[in-house]
Structure 1
Amino acid sequence: MTTTLDRTAPRDLAAELPARLSLTPKTTLAGQLDGAWWPRSRDLEAELPPLAAALDETWGRVTRVTVNPSRWPVVPRTVAVDGRTLHVGWFTEQDPDKLILLSYTVGRWDLLVIPPETEPAAAARLMAAAAIPGSVLAAGVLM
């Protein structure tokens, strides 16, 4: 008996679905986080394109992302997003529950990363808490 594994299915599915994202409203109150992101898997190559596409519309073009490699099994150096390249970096000093997004024109955003296996009710609470304007709670505290 032969078993065939289709490793492209999760990537194709992630690319078709919108990013699960909660953003802090635009106010003058700066907080520790700019919102939360709930990826469907731990595959950055599949998950980053829908995230970047969602943010391009609201925040502007994302050019670089940094993560802590302890939460991601593979950290690619680059990811293709709509015909362009998104650069991905990693830092072990970075909070493992946070994703940092950078743009040449707009600046920096810090998002809480909710683990893909989180129950929907808990994820909803975390997404709401991370999007409170002026919150002083860091990603590690919320998790």
Structure 2
Amino acid sequence: MTTSPPGPTSPSPEVARVALRIRVDANVHDGPLDGAWWPQSRDLQREAADLVDHFPAAVGRVERLLFSRPDWDAVSGSPSMRRIQAERGPVKVGSFPSDDTHVMMVKVLSGRRLRLLVVPSDTEAGLAARLMEQAADDHNTQSPSTLLGLSTPDQSESAHTAWVDDAGQPA
């Protein structure tokens, strides 16, 4: 299991960023999630670039990302970006046709697709650590909405197989 330690919940411009907060189950399984990611803000460009640049090398190099729009301030209600600029170069991104998945899909160069629960950046550290542990547990059967304690069901089942860009083209 790959993991990074939890850090502060919401950085301010003068506070240094903490290490990538991620837990990934290294085993391939059929559960609803393969792990969790706890970004430091709701800025998609900044956080996705951090994810790409610091993604665990043992899991793979990030090729593409597919995100849930409501999890990010930069894209809610506006046309989605198609690329993020990471230190290692540009990476294609797209968004789910259905927006309430609370998942970041990560496609690595090997072709493996990982479903990461996006833990809201303002989540208290203890709760975030528990959510990340549950999401990365290969025995977890709970959906992202259930883990996050949301009252409305998410559409993560459709995200399980959907992989299209914003133009609706298969990715």
Please provide the CA RMSD for this pair: 2.3
Moved more, 86-95 or 30-39: 86-95
| Structure 2 CA distance for aligned equivalents of residues 13 and 32 of structure 1 | 33
Q: Is the 8 A contact 2:71 2:118 kept in 1?
A: no
Rg larger for: 1
Whether 1:18 aligns to 2:19 is yes
Q: Percent identity?
A: 32
Displacement of 1:30 after TM fit?
3.4
Structure 2: unaligned runs, 5 residues or longer: 1-11, 76-80, 149-171
Displacement of 1:105 after TM fit?
2.1
| Structure 2 CA distance for aligned equivalents of residues 116 and 63 of structure 1 | 24
| Structure 1 CA distance for aligned equivalents of residues 128 and 72 of structure 2 | 19
Q: Is the 8 A contact 2:49 2:85 kept in 1?
A: yes
Partner of 1:72: 72
Displacement of 1:54 after TM fit?
2.7
Partner of 1:39: 39
| Structure 2 CA distance for aligned equivalents of residues 86 and 28 of structure 1 | 24
| Structure 2 CA distance for aligned equivalents of residues 67 and 28 of structure 1 | 21
| Structure 2 CA distance for aligned equivalents of residues 121 and 96 of structure 1 | 23
| Structure 2 CA distance for aligned equivalents of residues 28 and 50 of structure 1 | 24
Change (3 A) 1:13 1:87: farther
Q: TM-score, normalised by structure 1?
A: 0.80
Partner of 1:122: 127
Q: Which has the higher contact order (CA 8 A, sep 6+)?
A: 1
The structure carrying a bigger helix percent of its residues is 1
* Matching of residues 1-143 of structure 1 within 5 Å: 10=13, 13-14=16-17, 17-24=18-25, 26-27=26-27, 29-55=29-55, 57-75=57-75, 76-143=81-148
SS of match in other structure, 1:63:
strand
Displacement of 1:56 after TM fit?
5.0
Displacement of 1:13 after TM fit?
4.2
| Structure 2 CA distance for aligned equivalents of residues 92 and 111 of structure 1 | 17
> Which amino acid in 1 is paired with 2:135?
A
Structure 1: unaligned runs, 5 residues or longer: 1-8
| Structure 2 CA distance for aligned equivalents of residues 28 and 123 of structure 1 | 23
> Which amino acid in 2 is paired with 1:74?
A
